[in-house]
Structure 1
């Protein structure tokens, strides 16, 4: 019997979503087939990511471990273990609750157990890139701007701005919320929408006392400080603990143009002043110190997509934010990893069947498997928008009483996702 031909796969987007999807397609390729030939095209001149520090929850770390990226991250000592995200009232500095990853024995959740890891997006990207370099079947090409996508019954052709073209069996759009793949091929009418909230973020070196000790922090690794005009996240992001990530989720009126957002985001002094005003009255002087000291503050508007939408054509499929961008709700990075793994498993099953069915069958199986989870996550993310909205003093006091009960009530539900391993779950296909 002839050896099956290696599948040619193109991925648009060389960020975390695209890279982990490439690792997943390699990891879960059927043994009966040669590894797929995967080429990622990135519009930037080199791999890069925009954003601050993310919390990789136990389910996210479990998948990175399967894909070989967690070993690379740990070998480089990236990130800071996070046993819990602590919640504080900004105006009393009182800890009112926490979302814990310790598990029943203090070693983490799931089997094998994992806690969480607070890590900069840049370091996470470096770890995943290191894992990519160990696979000869994966190629990353930067500085390529896509200008056209066309497909027929046998494959997909991409045309680039420099005149080059690329042909493959399928195309996976991992090119983010402003996805060219979605806007120019899969569903042009489905455009991004401003959520009403922005993330202002930067990194502050820790101040030292007269005795040469670091200024004390009220949080162990990550603290969410709830105020009347937003949530301020303060978190360590590496083992040295000499720098604190400062991220402010806050309600900001929409700016009409993209250039306007760029100008607002580049005005660090204005952003700093806005943050100091919004989080004024904090009981802990550390709050104002961190905002004052944070360097290169950025204002980043949070855009989302509407619930639902079209995810695929016959040979092109959207993964991650290009399909279902939503406000941050603590698990967004893990959701992207799950997307890549589950799609890779569905595609592998289709390859194993080898019954002449169109590849759209694998796309449909993935979508059937994934829609419910994404719709639920979207609904949950809307509570983030409401939590960040400006509130009067009475509203804040009510919120501070509700949050502990909400976290207690939803703990079992959150931990159910944290112990999941989508590399072994039934895919029903």
Structure 2
């Protein structure tokens, strides 16, 4: 599935025929669709929030309140909670005399959630200057450098915190191997991390592990396992929108049950509001042949994502919107160039290359593919664009090599990719 800030994939995927006996059952998840709306306040929150005054110096209050705001953001998808968490953390950093680097790290992670990666890196270095070489600081540096595409730096920081008994190290090693395209090793590390999470008894770690393993299992063609782990996540948190969306993706992309997938999305929308839900609705509507409805969903996505509070969080799908829906190549180029400046990863260069191809600048697009994509990523969506550009510039043999790698990626990319891959 490919809808979050953050997602994990491999080109070594199995086709939809990998588990012919898998069949979902609405009885497995119907009760979760009727879950109550998430709570966005509590006596605990109100107690600590009441301690905050304009001249407050109590950093613990800011830390607790920011944590609650972040939890509300995760539960509702409403970006205003993420921004309120940012404000509380900025105040904590300003007034803290003790454990200042911990508050700086928390603020950096908030910036990561907002896709403000260069700013997050500045904060990571600032925290490391205060407490050089700590495990927590190096873990943060790994996370930020991975987001920025500084893979050598990321690996150096990962190696410096090696500990096969540590949950944080295990999940980061899983992410590193996913980047390398080694899905089997990725899953092994995540399964080790899950064992640590379960032995800890911490629900938040278990929930995170279940949803991430569900993603990885799906990418490996283990649809039954993926489905069951999303259900495990819902057992812990019946309101978890990410797990419900994961089930919707299985129904849509694997079972080809678009109406049932749409029903799940409609249920999610009762308590969780995020622009990416409109994107998935648009994809499903297009698959069903309802083009006017698909375009309407894309417009609703654009209106939601255009809110100033989101900043650059939705630049990637916004490029698609301007490119495919409005044919506004200048605006698409502007956003793609901004994304490259903010986050010079293969994903960002793929955006820019796609815009250049649409503008008829095929050779310039090919230069980006050769310099910044080929050999630097195993992401099927990026490689599909690379193959299309190779074909468009007459490099058909190279495109065919990528086609062979992509033929098993239909589940990850979605049903619409079948036609594109066949045409390579």
Q: TM-score range by the shorter chain?
A: under 0.3
Higher fraction of strand:
1
More helix by share: 2
- Under a length normalisation based on structure 1, what TM-score does the superposition of the two structures give? 0.22
**Structure of higher RCO (CA pairs closer than 8 Å, 6+ residues apart):** 1
